[in-house]
Chains A and B, each alone.
Chain A
Amino acid sequence: MKKIIYLISGLAILFLLTFNFSGCVDQDFEDIEPRVDTTLLNANTTIAELKSMYPGSLFQLSDTTFFNRDSIIIEGIVTSDDKTGNFYKTIVIQDASGAIEVKLDKTNLSNDYKLGQRLIIYCNSLYLGDYGGLIQIGSAYTENGYKQIGGMEGDVIINKHVFRKGETPAPVTPLVINPSLLTAANISKLVKVENVQFETLYFPGTTTPLTYADKASGESLDHILKGCIDNYNSKLVVRSSGYASFANKPISNLKGSVIGVLSYYNGTFQLIIRDLNDINFTEARCL
């Protein structure tokens, strides 16, 4: 009996000892405090100025003294949103002078660059390029011996060039356009076209409604917008990605307004919508 008391007290001592030791294996973590990202950098160049520097083929902003400044810094507000997948590895920013597509080799960008977020882009050493006439800024990659504009190579590189400035969202009001405003200066701006409808609603010779894009194959599709008053001459389309979550939804058979980022490819202006709320068709179609 004595032995057992002795033994139990020995064990108790051991446990007291070890519980004291257990302090060294601390695995309780306090939540990290929320913070607001900001940067002290200020823009010294407007987006329109930057785009005007583009010589017409892939061009690296390496020797910035050429432009009589040490660095090229632009600022803009995010107008794109990749949540539905209609934008892919791309954000679009806009300032008072214009707008530009920024290419990032990263997905789920709306987690970092929300609609209305003010961004600073430090452009030194980035590339300007174009895709079918649409000017973009980003990195470059070589494929089949052909060097072309591409996304910035992941977080490490992105964090050296793209900075959030403040948290106050300042949503951009879309520019209401008409055929005469389909100009190079307005490319990549957030725009709104009014009193329009989709020209073709069904697959040729059927009553099967067309969808925004081809989800099965992942192919993008263009749908020509027809103005009820204005004549866009088949030069304005709504273009959507086959990977967009709304790709398999039938296109609206009503008329109304569309908001989107004004994109461009070889003579055709394209509206890239963020989600289906950008198609605000509520009235019966015009003839």
Chain B
Amino acid sequence: MKRFIFLTFVAFLSGFGSLRAETTAKGVVKDADTGNPLPGVTIQVQGTSISVLSDANGEYQLTSLPSGNYTINYTLIGFQPFEMQVDVKDGDLIIPEVLLKHAQSDESQNQTLSEVTISSDDLDMDSKSESVTGMLQSSADPFEAAVSYVFSPARFKIRGYDSEYSLTYMNGIPVNDPESGFGSWSVWGGLNDVTRNRESRYGLLTSDFSFGGIGGVVNLNTRASQARIGTKISYASTNRTYTNRLMVTHSTGLMENGFAYTVSASRRWAEEGYVEGTFYDAYAYFVSVEKKFNSKHSLAFTAFNAPTKRGMQGAASDEANRLVGSNFYNPNWGYQNGEKRNARVRKQQEPTFMLNHYWNINEKMSLTTNAGYSFGTFQTTALNWYNAQDPRPDYYRKLPSYYSLSADEERIATLTDSWKNDVNTQQINWDELYQTNYDALDTAKYIIENRITDSKQLSFSTALNWDLKTNLKIKAGLEASIYKGRNYKTMNDLLGGDYWVDIDQFAERDFGDHEIAQNDLDHPDRQIKEGDTFGNDYTANVNKGSLWAVANYMTNHFDYYVGASFDYSQFWRTGHMRNGRFPTNSKGDSEKQQFNNFGIKGGTTWKINGRNFVEANAAYLTMAPFFRNSFVSPRTSNRIVDGLINEKIASADINYNLRSPYIKARISAYYTLFMDQNELKSFYSENEKTFVNYSMTGIDKVHKGLELGAEIKATAALKVKLAASMATYQFISRPYVTITKDNSGDVVDAGKSIYIKNFYIPNTPQTAAMIGLDYAAPKYLYLSANVSYFGDTYIDFSPDRRSPEVVDPEDPNIKVLTEQQSVPSAILVDASVGKSWRINKYFINLNFSVSNIFDKTDFSTGGYEQLRYGSAEDVKRFPPRHYYAFGRTYYLILGLRF
């Protein structure tokens, strides 16, 4: 029925189409320095959905432009954005040649910020969650530019959305992680040169390759024919997550024989990064080949991999930070034989292969067909222990506050002094762990385990773009993928111990039953040696398919679009171990979960004139729950969370755009409702004295706010940039929770509601603003500086502390227990200077940028309450932990192009 209405609507629109005259505008974009054609430039007609990329010869074509005044934007990372006003009358039009100048500051910002983007979530998490502000890097919109360059260190999320609402594509293939939905930008970390060609659409908009979501959509285009011709070598020195980076890229461009090649390789490394005890060891390599068979067919192949190994940072309590005297205290490392050893080492790589067919069927129709295969591994090591004291240095029982009842002040002073001065107290005492294992009479007491996800994914997608009539365009596509992610643990290091027994110590303690405590009933009491798999082992199977179509209809003053999508998804768990707690429900396949979802979108643009236009968009989408939230105890059992249903999202925005020669501005208002979200948390319950799984359903949220971005040309050389986001992201329901013991599957509590209505969405500033100046001095010297403000950031909260049995208005501790905490607002200042030279055919550029110039090291970007808690006393014992943005850091980059 829905499809019928949609088709009818399309037919209705096409009826109007014949009334209009057709105009095709053609042009070419070149590098201002070299005169080489520039492929991959995004050419966008403001106030319309028309957006194309320049081809290998720098040429582009804008078809079916209704007559009128337009502003055309030319953007390419590493170049200054360019704007041109054109007056379209009936008949074909040749747009004058556009020369793009290299953007000194942008070049370095691109280099540095894509790193910030990936590293801001470097904290100690086993998930692949990443911030995706990097997707906006190629944007010409002043607000989006501010978000990606200035706001990202503050964990700013666009419109407060999590990364699963922003869709990332590479060569038309969706690359969000199927298990969690998260963006996975680190997969191509270090390949900045070859992932710079991006086409992104903001907010609710649809694009040529995707129906889009609500948080924007980006496609990274790695076609060799569209890569910038030439060789580029750069070296960077910095003091962030890595200290050195070397990168080499070469592109041939489209050669006479119809082939184009791009190769790139990079190395990023640090013996120690900004945070003590973190190292960085990353390689990346990339090759892409394209063959243009004729004017209609091109075939492209891309392969890349970015193996990365790094020591992780962990968030510590404020008390530990204070004692050690740094907000960047990292409890993850300790000295082993005089060298810093990190217990949390992350290793990842995901070799990816893509084949793309580009087919210009005729002047009005093109079809892109893509297939991809990737197989990867994502591993994080962690300490584990058996019948032994928690080896983490900042474990609450090792801190002076734990001994607040001690009658002996001198001893507390001794302990405090030791925390301040003794590295063996502050950090992991590897020596102790080894000696304890050497002395052990049976199983090792301390080990390092490796938590692994090995994934394989096969993807297919196709997208059709069809100019049905002069003023009517149809875009449609199909996407399908098969994903298998095997999650398991291996023994990484026995730390001098002889073996480890594969039993669960909590189950052993709770049940006193040897069989129940077995992790693998088919191999009871197995002695685990280094390299062996143990603990848990299961595969997440996720299959997806979707269909979408969008119609764009243009008139003189109004453009309209409407679209619909249908998604099918299916997932199930396959257990590879028969677990002692769940002997009948852990091995083999779980029930298959299937979900059907749809989305509809529509919008209009009112082109008041060539310089002023108003856009309005609305969408209603439903989304299947993610695998990560759907199993009560995914590591050990096939049991599905009760009441899994599709999430619903309703969203709308309205945007006013001004494009005058001196001022470029956008002001937007948006309103989004999320309904029926679900979330799973796992933690040690003080009440149950065991690990519990905490499954919340019926989470509803509202995200509403205003965005403002402006770029003002004060003089020919001086630009003033402004950006602000004022928003409210809140929970608007009382979710229901089911608490289940991880060990037994026993339901401790079912259906109690959690009083978090009006709580704020944590860990992103709800207010952010910046003002910046860009100055282009003579002789290719560039200066820029900006001041930014971040406020109204709340930390993540423990839902159980807001449950009915805790919320007692008579309790004097009610505030301590239930109020949501915020972090102080902050002001940061950044600046950069750059210069470039040309010596014959060589271009040299040097850029130096400093972030957080005043070294504000107490800028907290959020944090979380520990979930372990039983009483008001425990709030002190398990205090919240905070994340802090780096203090003053620099990025120095020297580049050579020829």
Enumerate chain A interface residues (CB-CB to B < 8 A): 3-4, 7, 10-11, 14-15, 17-18, 21-22, 24-27, 29-32, 34-35, 37, 60, 83, 105-108, 111-112, 114, 125, 127, 139-143, 147, 150, 152-157, 160, 215, 245, 247-248
Contacts and interface: CB of A to CB of B under 8 A. Distances in A.
Nearest to A34: B438
Contacts of B438: 34
Contacts of B415: 153-154, 156-157
A35 B435 contact: yes
B269 A32 contact: no
A164 to B, nearest CB: 10
Contact of B269 (A25, A141, A245): A25
B440 interface: yes
Interface in B466-507: 495-496
A10 B337 contact: no
Given A11-B248, A25-B279, A153 B406 contact: yes
Nearest to A115: B441
Contact of A22 (B250, B269, B345, B434): B269
B474 to A, nearest CB: 41
Contacts of A26: 339
Interface stretch (B259-267, B293-301, B657-665, B743-751): B259-267
A17 B246 contact: yes
Given A153-B415, A154-B398, A160-B414, A27 B279 contact: yes
B512 A25 contact: no
B337 A29 contact: yes
A125 B405 contact: no
Contacts of B270: 25
Which of B248, B261, B263, B419 lies at the interface centre, i.e. has the most chain A CB atoms within 10 A of its CB? B248
A83 B246 CA distance: 54
B157 to A, nearest CB: 32
B283 A106 contact: no
Which of B244, B271, B403, B425 lies at the interface centre, i.e. has the most chain A CB atoms within 10 A of its CB? B403
A249 to B, nearest CB: 9
Give chain B's interface secondary structure class.
Answer: mixed
Contacts of B406: 139-142, 150, 153
A162 to B, nearest CB: 14
Contacts of A7: 250, 261, 263
B445 interface: yes
Given A14-B248, A34-B496, A155-B398, A141 B407 contact: yes
27 contacts: A7-B250, A14-B267, A21-B267, A22-B269, A22-B281, A25-B270, A25-B281, A27-B279, A27-B345, A29-B337, A32-B336, A108-B387, A108-B445, A111-B389, A111-B436, A111-B440, A125-B408, A139-B406, A139-B407, A142-B406, A150-B406, A153-B403, A154-B398, A154-B415, A156-B414, A156-B425, A160-B414
A160 B407 CA distance: 18
A76 B341 CA distance: 36
B408 A139 contact: yes
Contacts of B263: 7, 11
A224 B495 CA distance: 45
A27 B246 contact: no
A234 B339 CA distance: 60
B439 A27 contact: no
A125 B261 contact: no
Given A14-B265, A32-B435, 13 more contacts: A11-B248, A21-B269, A25-B281, A27-B279, A29-B339, A37-B435, A112-B436, A140-B408, A142-B407, A155-B425, A156-B422, A157-B415, A160-B414
A3 B337 CA distance: 49
Nearest to A147: B407
A245 B510 CA distance: 9
A139 B269 contact: no
Contacts of B388: 108, 111
The 7 A-B pairs with the shortest beta carbon distances in the complex, nearest first, are A18-B267, A140-B407, A32-B434, A25-B281, A34-B438, A141-B405, A153-B403
Given A10-B248, A25-B271, A142-B405, A153 B281 contact: no
Contacts of B440: 111
Interface of B: 231, 244, 246, 248, 250, 252, 261, 263, 265, 267, 269-271, 279-281, 283, 309, 311, 336-337, 339, 341, 345, 387-389, 397-398, 402-403, 405-408, 410-412, 414-415, 418-419, 422, 425, 430-431, 434-436, 438-441, 445, 495-496, 508-509, 512
Contacts of B246: 14, 17-18, 21
A154 B271 contact: no
A221 B441 CA distance: 30
Contacts, number: 137
Nearest to A15: B265
Contact of B512 (A11, A154, A215): A215
Contacts of A152: 411
Contact of B265 (A11, A106, A248): A11
A178 B252 CA distance: 97
A48 B317 CA distance: 44
B498 to A, nearest CB: 12
Nearest to B345: A27
Contacts of B339: 26, 29
B508 to A, nearest CB: 8
Which of B270, B407, B412, B430 lies at the interface centre, i.e. has the most chain A CB atoms within 10 A of its CB? B407
A154 B436 contact: no
B283 A18 contact: yes
A79 B261 CA distance: 75
Contact of A30 (B279, B337, B419): B337
Contacts of B441: 114
Contact of A156 (B336, B387, B418): B418
Contacts of A150: 405-407
Given A31-B496, A32-B434, A107-B389, A4 B261 contact: yes
Contacts of A141: 403, 405-407
A111 B271 contact: no
A286 to B, nearest CB: 31
Contacts of B336: 29-30, 32
Contacts of A156: 398, 414-415, 418-419, 422, 425
Which of A4, A106, A156 lies at the interface centre, i.e. has the most chain B CB atoms within 10 A of its CB? A156
B309 A27 contact: yes
A159 to B, nearest CB: 9
A29 B252 CA distance: 44
Contact of B252 (A3, A60, A105, A125): A3
B391 to A, nearest CB: 11
Nearest to B432: A155
A157 B418 CA distance: 10
A160 B495 CA distance: 26
A245 B517 CA distance: 13
Contact of A139 (B345, B411, B496): B411
B441 to A, nearest CB: 8
Nearest to A27: B279
A60 B311 CA distance: 46
A25 B270 CA distance: 7
Contacts of A143: 405
A24 B434 CA distance: 26
Contact of B387 (A3, A25, A83): A83
B414 A25 contact: no
B418 A27 contact: no
